Chains A and B, each alone.
Chain A
Amino acid sequence: MSQEEQANQQSDVLNAAQAEGGATPSSSRRRFIAGLATGSIVMTVASRPAIAGGGKGGGGKGDWKKGAWCTPSAWVSGNLSQGDTRQSCGGRSPGYWKANAKRWPSKYKPGSCKSSKGNCTEYKSDGTAFHQSKGGPFAGSFFGSKTMMQVLWLQGHSDPYQLGAHIVAAFLNASTIANYGMTPSTVVDMWYQLNTQGFYQPSPGAPMMTAEEVVIFIQNTFDN
């Protein structure tokens, strides 16, 4: 069957559908109706703004959108669907905050280095403490008198899932990055809930996140 024959078999259903799809080029060519748009631009496929910054995912950076997945409540209710790409939230990793003590917000002190040589790998206890009881932002006593910087440096056995390190990084992100998706008090609450009840619920009735899921969520807010 040729294309023409196939076309001739049609009723007018498709023609009607086609007319609904937008002004046909020929109509706008012949007559111009004053007061209306010309209809000469029939449709546009717009490029989305690309966000700078790398990612562990490797590809598709140009598709990144700053957005909804940067908040815990959107994260737990989000749907995995075809074509979803990760979104840039602008966050920095624990590694960044370990290596860039000078970039910490002035309100929180990384403390001084134990050694004066080379890159610092061990900090003294003169920085801002992790727990509120020692003058820091977070509830409980899990990390004793360790400072925020010292928690960033803890190894796996004393910081399961690296939760403490990720909480500190998220807190510093929330304190320095506009539109990060979380405020400092969100991060404080996140720790409080995990510490007292073993899971985190972004809002009443929302799905619960385990400690490991919270770490995964926080990792997804990192651009580096």
Chain B
Amino acid sequence: MEQAERWRIAPGYELLWFEGDDGQVVYHGGSGDTHLIDEAAAALLHLLQSRPQTPIALSSSLVADGRVAADEAPEYTAMLLQELARLGLVEPCP
């Protein structure tokens, strides 16, 4: 993954949220799919909802929030982005 590349929420579709005590449920208006995701994935989506960001910036925010250990954060963030991209929730900025 290109670390300087910025990522964004896939445009055109609304994300709806339900906050559970065991994770967050997110509804994707484009696919009509509903996902239960953990707090780290939810935090990443919320960060991208505020503005498009690079994996490095996202990774630092997750570390700052205490969600991921610093040494693992870059790889963890990259994998999270891939999983969320597979679900059609995020995409690299063109």
Chain B residues numbered 41-76 whose CB sits less than 8 Å from any CB in chain A:
41, 67-69, 72, 75-76
* A202-220 near B? 1/0 per residue, CB < 8 Å: 0000000000000000000
CA of A25 to CA of B41 in the docked complex: distance in angstroms? Answer: 10
Is A40 a contact of B31 with CB atoms below 8 Å? Answer: no
Given A28-B40, A32-B68, are A45 and B34 also a contact pair (CB < 8 Å)? yes
Per DSSP, chain B at the interface is mixed
Least distance between B64 CB and chain A CB atoms (Å): 14
A24, A28, A37 pick with most chain B CB within 10 angstroms: A28
Any A CB within 8 A of the CB of B94:
no
Is B35 a contact of A29 with CB atoms below 8 Å? Answer: no
Collect the chain B residues with CB atoms within 8 Å of residue A45's CB.
Answer: 33-35
Is B41 a contact of A41 with CB atoms below 8 Å? Answer: yes
Other-chain residue from B22, B76, B84 in contact with A32 (beta carbon distance below 8 A): B76
Is A44 a contact of B80 with CB atoms below 8 Å? Answer: no
Interface size class for chain B?
A: 20 to 34
Residue of B nearest to A39 (CB): B38
Is A32 a contact of B72 with CB atoms below 8 Å? Answer: yes
Collect the chain B residues with CB atoms within 8 Å of residue A24's CB.
Answer: 22
Is A29 a contact of B34 with CB atoms below 8 Å? Answer: no
Least distance between A35 CB and chain B CB atoms (Å): 10
Collect the chain B residues with CB atoms within 8 Å of residue A43's CB.
Answer: 35-36
Is B38 a contact of A28 with CB atoms below 8 Å? Answer: yes
Other-chain residue from A32, A34, A41 in contact with B37 (beta carbon distance below 8 A): A41
* A37-74 near B? 1/0 per residue, CB < 8 Å: 11111111111000000000000000000000000000
Any B CB within 8 A of the CB of A31:
yes
Any A CB within 8 A of the CB of B93:
no
Other-chain residue from B31, B32, B68, B79 in contact with A29 (beta carbon distance below 8 A): B68
Other-chain residue from B33, B75, B80 in contact with A40 (beta carbon distance below 8 A): B80
Chain B contacts to A: CB under 8 angstroms: 22-23, 31-41, 67-69, 72, 75-76, 79-80, 83-84, 87
